[in-house]
Structures are given as structure tokens and as C-alpha cells.
Amino acid sequence: MMKTRGCCASICQCFFEYSTPKILVIRSFKVGTLNRITQALVIAYVIGYVCVLNKGYQETDAVLSSVTTKVKGIALTNTSDLGLQIWDVADYVIPPQEESSFFVLTNLLITLNQTQSHCPEVPKTGFDCTSDRDCKVGSHDTRGNGVQTGKCVYSTVDKTCEVLAWCPLELDKEPPNPPMLADAENFTVLIKNSIRYPKFNFNKRNILPYVNKTYLEQCVFNRITDPDCPIFRLKDMVTEANEDFQTMAVHGGVMGVQIRWECDLDMPSSWCVPRYTFRRLDNKDPVNNVAPGYNFRFAKYYKNGNNEETRTLIKGFGIRFDVMVFGQAGKFNIVPTLLNVGAGLALLGLVTVVCDWIVLTCMTKRNIYNEQKYSYVDDFQLLSNETP
């Protein structure tokens, strides 16, 4: 019974305790130096990193963006299949408009005068035969070029199944090297980028206010002489990504055009300008080089003299440029300022905790400090001190 009462008394005593900080001045060179150094580090962190570098006094907003492009340039080719031919933007930009990207044709394999007729399948695994029994009427495969007719006929070398397809069939071979449209390196592209920070009602575009029509007609982007020109030469973009345009143009590839808007809206709006960087996005690993580059097929259809539908099949290789816009804007706001200042003051409070721990564990006179730092006063002592 006595134990129960004693336990209840201890619990009540702990519950009705009140702790108040006690100021104890320690005159020690070591502890004082450690205290000031720790305080200086905290203040340097709050002012230097949080406020200056990280701009903790600002409210931020993410960028909203739209991108349009316009490619210009002329290329001349002279081949046995096509003869002398001029290529303009309507020929090599496919499709004419994409969302935040554009494709430029740099190389091609051409199969002329295809008509829907019967011809032997291209010799490959799964399509060779020795007799008609090896070919199934109506059978087709995603790796093939047409629908089998049930006949086994001679191809260029071996016997293969006859198919109903666009004949003559396309031959699987390497693209020309050097690329057919080698002049594409001198093509230029105008990239128009408009951005908005809705939280601050701030709008801007990469054609800056001082850029007039005369300047825009003659400028080409250069980091030293024309860093604000929105017209880019294709070779220069690929070169900045540490790539060779002519090598990349053979099989094609994917390039990234990165536009970064970092805007401090506490400063003049003229300081908010885009920064351009370029890098290659597709894999060019020399070891894992299966299916390299970027290519697709398209066809041009027409009627011949017999009113028969004919087409020219083109396997096009080229470079796709993806335009990616990043950015953040910041402007002074009292709320984040107070939050970060409050966090800094809280960190200063930890300095005392750190120094107390060091004194209690490392100092030779820590017992004396402990006696002076912590003391207990109950109601009876307070009442006796108040009695005259």
C-alpha cells in the first residue's frame, strides 16, 4: 500500500514540475571559441546558402512554355536513281510540324516504281522453300513483305515463297556513306519559345525586345558574338554536343535542345534571358549497336501511263531535334523569408545544446558545471524564502 502511494506521489510530482532555463556563464577559452565558431557556421549557412545561394527569401513558380520551329535550307543531290535533284524544306522536314520537335532528313534508301503485283520474297530465315508445299496460301508474317500465294519460285539466288506485295521489294542494306543530304549541316532552324510564370503574371519569349527584323534575317546563334539569336545552324548544335554531323547523318539520331529560363524577378526583366545547351539523346554505345540511329519509311504515290498506281518507297534516316524547356522564377515574399529566418534561429538554439553536451562529456570540471547547471526548488523552499 505504501509503495502504491509513493508511486502516485512521484507521478504527481513529475506532472506538476516546471522547468525554466538557467543562465550559466562559463569563462573558458575552449568552450567560448567552440561556441562562437559554431554560431558563425550557422549564421554563414543561413545567410550564405539559404538566403544568397538558394534565395530562401523568394517565392518560386515553374515555367509554362510553348515551342514552334521553322527550318530553312536547300540541298542538291545527284544519284543514279533520282538524277540531279533539289531538296527544299517541303522535302526533308517530315512531318511539317511536330510538338516541340522537328525532324530533318539526312540520308535515304529508295525503291523505285513499286506496284502491287507478285514477286519472290526476300531471302531470309523462314521464307525459303524447296517446293510449293512449303508455302501456305494467304499466310503472312510481320517480318515479311506480303501475303504468300502458295508458289515456290526462284529469287535472286535461292528459292523463296512468292508473295502479293508492293514489288520490287525493298532490299535490306546499309544506307549510303557519306549521307545523301550531306548539305543538311548548313540548314538553319528558327526556334520560337514563349514562356509564362502564371503566379507572377510574367511573360517573355526568346526573341528578345531589342531583336528587330533586320538582325533576325542575318544572325546565326554563336555563344560569343550572337548568344541571343534564336536561329541555329544544325551542324553547330551537333558540334556543341561533341558529335560529328556527317557521321550522325548516316544512320540518324536524336538531339536534345535544352532551353533554360532561370529568372530572378526582383531584378530587371532584361536579366531574364534563355540559356541554350545541346546534347545527344539516343544511345550510341559502340558495343550495344544493334538498330542504331533513327529511321522510318514513307512513300510517294502516283499513276503511271497505264493508270496503274505506283509508288516510290523511301527509307529515311535523319536527326530528330527535341526542344525541352526548363525554368524557375523567384520573387521576394515575406512568408518564405520568415520561415527561413525562423529555421536559422532554431539552428542557433542547437548551438547551446551542442556546447552543453561537450562540456558535460569532455571538460575536466564537468561535475561542477553539472551542479551549477541543474538545481531543484520546491514550494516549501519558495515559501520559506518569502517568509520575513
Strand duo 309-332 + 253-264: pairing:
parallel
CB atoms within 10 A of CB 186: 14
70 is in an annotated binding site: yes
52 is in an annotated binding site: no
Q: Which of 378, 328, 353, 298 is nearest to 110 (CA)?
A: 298
CA pair distance 385, 388, nearest whole angstrom = 8
- pLDDT of amino acid 337: 85
- pLDDT of amino acid 383: 46
CA pair distance 207, 216, nearest whole angstrom = 9
296 is in an annotated binding site: yes
Q: Which of 170, 66, 181, 68 is nearest to 121 (CA)?
A: 170
136 is in an annotated binding site: no
162-187: per-residue pLDDT in tens? 999 999 998 888 899 999 999 999 99
146-151 long-range Cβ contacts below 8 angstroms, 24+ apart: 146/121, 148/121, 149/118
283-322: per-residue pLDDT in tens? 777 677 777 889 999 999 998 878 889 999 999 999 999 9
pTM, two decimals, is 0.78
239, three cell numbers: 558540334
- pLDDT of amino acid 380: 46
CA pair distance 252, 379, nearest whole angstrom = 87
373 is in an annotated binding site: no
Which residues share a beta bridge with 35? Answer: none
Which residue segments constitute the domains of the chain, with CATH numbers given?
25-57+334-377 (1.10.287.940), 62-121+169-331 (2.60.490.10)
Which residues share a beta bridge with 109? Answer: 315
Handedness of CA 229, 231, 233, 236 (dihedral sign): positive
188 is in an annotated binding site: yes
- pLDDT of amino acid 355: 73
102 is in an annotated binding site: no
255-281: per-residue pLDDT in tens? 999 999 999 999 998 999 999 999 999
CA pair distance 331, 158, nearest whole angstrom = 74
Residue 364 CA: distances (Å) to CA of 22, 367, 368: 21, 8, 9
Compute the chain's Rg from CA coordinates.
38
Q: pLDDT 10s digit of each residue in the chain, 388 long?
A: 555 666 666 666 666 666 666 666 667 677 778 778 888 888 888 888 887 787 888 899 999 999 999 999 999 988 887 888 899 998 889 888 888 899 999 999 999 999 999 999 888 767 888 899 888 898 888 888 899 998 999 877 788 999 999 999 988 888 999 999 999 999 999 999 999 999 999 999 999 998 898 999 899 999 999 999 999 999 999 999 999 999 999 999 999 999 999 999 999 989 999 999 999 998 777 677 777 889 999 999 998 878 889 999 999 999 999 999 999 999 998 988 888 888 888 887 777 777 777 766 766 666 666 656 655 555 544 445 554 5
Packing angle, helices 334-362 and 29-44, rounded to 10 = 160
Q: Which residue has the cell 561556441?
A: 35
| H or E stretch at 334 | helix 334-362
CA pair distance 351, 359, nearest whole angstrom = 12
* CA contacts within 13 A on the Cβ side of 200: 24
Q: Which residue has the cell 507521478?
A: 11
Which residues share a beta bridge with 38? Answer: none
- Contact assessment for residue 252 and residue 259, using Cβ atoms and an 8 Å cutoff: no
151 is in an annotated binding site: no
| H or E stretch at 37 | helix 29-44
Q: Which residue has the cell 542547437?
A: 350
- pLDDT of amino acid 250: 94
Q: Which of 181, 151, 176 is nearest to 163 (CA)?
A: 151
235-241 long-range Cβ contacts below 8 angstroms, 24+ apart: 235/185, 235/186, 237/278, 237/321, 238/185, 238/278, 238/280, 238/319, 240/277, 240/278, 241/278, 241/279, 241/280
Whats the size of the chain, residue-wise? 388
